[in-house]
Amino acid sequence: MKEQIIENIAFETGQEQFLQIIINSISDFVNLKDKDGRWLFANQAAI
């Protein structure tokens, strides 16, 4: 059970990093905001 949890966390971390790489490679402005308008993420083009 413990190993499965660790494996799942590692997989999710890898997926998040992969998504960040893809989004940062887009030359268009990409950002993510929460419901209050606070920035959670912005790609390199947005910065």
The overall pTM is greater than 0.95: no
Give the DSSP letter of residue 43: -
What span, in angstroms and rounded, lies between the C-alpha atoms of 25 and 35? 26
- pLDDT tens-digit readout, 1-47: 889 988 888 889 999 899 999 999 999 999 999 999 999 999 999 88
**Residue in this structure with the two tokens 């419901």, named with its chain if needed:** 35
CB 7 within 8 A of CB 14: no
